[in-house]
Amino acid sequence: MEAISETKTELTNLSGQEFSRRSLLQSDALYQYILETGVYPREPEPLKELREITEKHKWNMIATPADESQFLNMLLKLVNAKNTMEIGVFTGCSLLATAMALPDDGKILAMDINREDYEIGLPIIEKAGVAHKIEFREGLAMPILDQMIANGKDHGTFDFIFVDADKENYINYHERLIDLVKVGGLIGYDNTLWSGSVAAPPDAPMNYIIKKYKDFVLEFNKAISVDPRIEICMLPVGDGITLCRRVI
């Protein structure tokens, strides 16, 4: 818990420029073109409203960007996801994009250590008519996952799991999630290109948040690249999302 609040304090102290949500594309103009041409003109009203409210939050830079929400929404429809999980909710941008993609009887088990931020988005989620699909659990994700594995009934039941929380634990989450996702199901790990730092030379200038977690992201990326239980696809959407499809 301490490490998380320490990170949030560090984030608060950063200027927008040091930790701005720059895209991984070759120019900001190209990213802007994607947003203005393919995303904003057809962005559903609830997602727009939540994005605009989230932009006022002091940690707005950690929110899922609109193009990634659009991607998640389409992906979930393509795989006919029904039973899903999200680790790391913040104000709910990816959560709402997920909830809007699921059928009316779809479910999202959503976890975050902080309920306050979730409550910023909750009225919009309710207004969108999708709150009944969400079960929000406040607390550290790891003990919740361990309890689910111990009780045995959730084994191999999830169609889709989105992981967007503490990067230092991705590798530990993976060992649990591989048990909970169904064979043929997907796990999406977010921020796996970590502002492009994963391919930066060792002496490249980078802010301390990027520097602090870079080795965890590198270690995680290396581990899953050779994991025989999954197929993977690393996509340069948002800050990089790695899709893992469980095969055994």
Residues binding ligand SAM (CB under 6 A): 4, 62-64, 87-91, 93-94, 111-114, 117, 140-141, 164-166
Residue 228, burial from CB neighbour count under 10 angstroms (0-12, 13-18, 19+):
exposed
The stretch among 22-30, 38-46, 182-190, 206-214 that binds Ca ion (CB under 5 A) is: 182-190
The residues near 214 (Cβ < 8 Å, ≥ 6 apart) are 194, 197, 198, 206
- Do 135 and 108 form a contact (C-beta atoms < 8 A)? yes
CA–CA–CA angle 224, 222, 199 (5° rounding) = 130
Tell me the two tokens of residue 25.
């594309």
> Is 86 a residue that touches Ca ion (CB under 5 A)?
no
Which does residue 165 bind out of ligand SAM, Ca ion, none, counting CB within 5 to 8 angstroms by kind? ligand SAM
Which does residue 67 bind out of Ca ion, ligand SAM, none, counting CB within 5 to 8 angstroms by kind? none
Nearer to ligand SAM, 55 or 126 (CB): 55
Strand pairing class (158-163; 83-87): parallel
Q: Which of 164, 170, 186, 209 binds Ca ion (CB under 5 A)?
A: 164
Which does residue 47 bind out of Ca ion, ligand SAM, none, counting CB within 5 to 8 angstroms by kind? none
Q: Which residue is nearest to Ca ion (CB)?
A: 190
Nearer to Ca ion, 158 or 170 (CB): 170
CB of 163 to Ca ion, least distance (A): 9
The residues near 78 (Cβ < 8 Å, ≥ 6 apart) are none
> Is 190 a residue that touches Ca ion (CB under 5 A)?
yes
CB of 166 to Ca ion, least distance (A): 11
Nearer to ligand SAM, 111 or 241 (CB): 111
CB of 228 to ligand SAM, least distance (A): 27
d(CA 135, CA 82): 14
The residues near 13 (Cβ < 8 Å, ≥ 6 apart) are none
Closest to 158 measured CA to CA, from 169, 145, 170, 140: 145
**Could you list the residues that contact Ca ion (CB under 5 A)?**
164, 190-191
